[in-house]
Amino acid sequence: MNAPSGPVLRDIHLPPPPGWWPPAPGWWMLLAIALAACAFALYKTHQIRHRRRRIREVLREFEACVGRHRHDPVGLAAGLSVFLRRLALRDSQPAAAYGGERWLAYLDGHIGGEEFRHGAGRVLLDAPFRAHADFDTVALIALVRRYVRNALQSGAVHV
């Protein structure tokens, strides 16, 4: 056998595999997007929980008002009137100062229909100011409860 002429060549040396640190720019972008998505999800979760808590507080206040005045029609009408005006303050401050037919029209506008102007809600105009009142308290409570739930679900009242 003949000896090779010229320099002796060595085999090809592969570079070492890349390390895991620092990551490639694409991984940094993916991490940033994931962190932003998590922060947004936490923010939205916080908003939803806060809104639900405020809705529960409003409904609890309504039930407490009804419970306090269940057997006193005049007190019930006055309490519900005050409650509705406090609720209207959250939506539109000028609306809370409306009087008479304009107030009932405002309430009807949020519930859809004419049950405040021409139905059970009409007693809110004068019953709180009478010494004695005789009206359907169950119908009034149901109407106001429906108004509150509708206003809270539609977002008409900011909680």
List pLDDT tens digits, range 118-144: 989 999 988 888 888 888 999 999 999
Q: Is the dihedral of CA 13, 18, 24, 27 positive or negative?
A: positive
Tell me which residue range forms the domain holding 93: 56-154
CB 152 within 8 Å of CB 55? yes
Residue count of the chain: 159
- pLDDT for 1 equals 56
State pLDDT tens for residues 29-44: 999 999 999 999 999 9
Q: Is residue 123 part of a domain?
A: yes
Is residue 111 included in any domain, yes or no?
A: yes
pLDDT higher than threshold 60 for residue 26: yes
| Count of domains observed in the chain | 1
Share in percent of the chain as helix, strand, coil (round to 5)? 70, 0, 30
22 in any annotated domain: no
Q: Could you tell me if residue 51 is inside a domain? A: no
- Residue 142 domain flag: yes
Q: Flag whether 60 is in a domain.
A: yes
In a domain, 43, yes or no: no
Q: Please check whether residue 90 lies inside any domain of the structure.
A: yes
**Per-residue pLDDT, 70:** 85
What pTM was estimated for this model as a whole? 0.74
